[in-house]
Structure 1
Amino acid sequence: MTAQTSTQAQVIPKFGEQKKAFSINELKQLINAAKNMKDLNQAKGYLCSYFIPYSNPHEVFMWRSEIKNLEHIPDKNINKLILQ
């Protein structure tokens, strides 16, 4: 990264590789630290490392690092997790 980068990029693990539990506060920090659309890729990467959509039926799977397994979340309930 260069000195011109507006936020310090961090390496975000891929889906299912996270070692710590999802944190809405960490997501908020990434969003608030973003100074442009490119910086929002950090927040997007963070979300994608925990959540993956499944299209038939419309649902989401969440990686639960504390149990090292997936949790099925109906699409209609996803707002309860990330819209606090």
Structure 2
Amino acid sequence: MTTQTSTQAQVIPKFGEQKKAFSIDKLKRLVNAAKSMSDFDQAKRYLCSYFIPCSNPHGVFMWRSEIKNLEHILDKNISKLICSITKVFYT
């Protein structure tokens, strides 16, 4: 079984069901393992299992599995929590 196959076989829980704390390193691994745009689904599902948008006040709610509760993060602070991850595909 290849790394790509094992990554795709992972089941990502829904928002609020994660048992482990959010890991930027795991998100980076999922992004870097992507070989095409469609491979980003795992990374998107991982991100969506921890974060959900909030409109008032603007920002996101982050699922904190270690305390089994939500934390509100303002828009201006999101970049401090999740650094930029870049992946480029050439055709």
Do both share a fold (TM > 0.5)?
yes
- Distance (whole Å) between structure 2 residues aligned to residue 36 and residue 71 of structure 1: 33
Q: What TM-score do the two structures reach when normalised by structure 2?
A: 0.82
Q: Deviations over 1:22-81 (max 9, x none)?
A: 000000000000000111010000000000001233111000000000001111101101
SS in 2 for 1:22: coil
Instruction: Name segments (4+ residues, structure 1) moved above 4 Å.
Output: none
SS in 2 for 1:38: helix
- Distance (whole Å) between structure 2 residues aligned to residue 82 and residue 36 of structure 1: 22
- Distance (whole Å) between structure 2 residues aligned to residue 12 and residue 70 of structure 1: 18
Aligned length: 80
SS in 1 for 2:38: coil
Instruction: Report percent identity of matched pairs.
Output: 76
Please state if 1:70 is matched with 2:70: yes
SS in 2 for 1:73: strand
Which residue identity lines up with residue 56 of structure 2 in the other structure? N
Runs of 5+ unmatched residues, structure 1: none
- Distance (whole Å) between structure 1 residues aligned to residue 56 and residue 67 of structure 2: 25
- Distance (whole Å) between structure 2 residues aligned to residue 32 and residue 11 of structure 1: 18
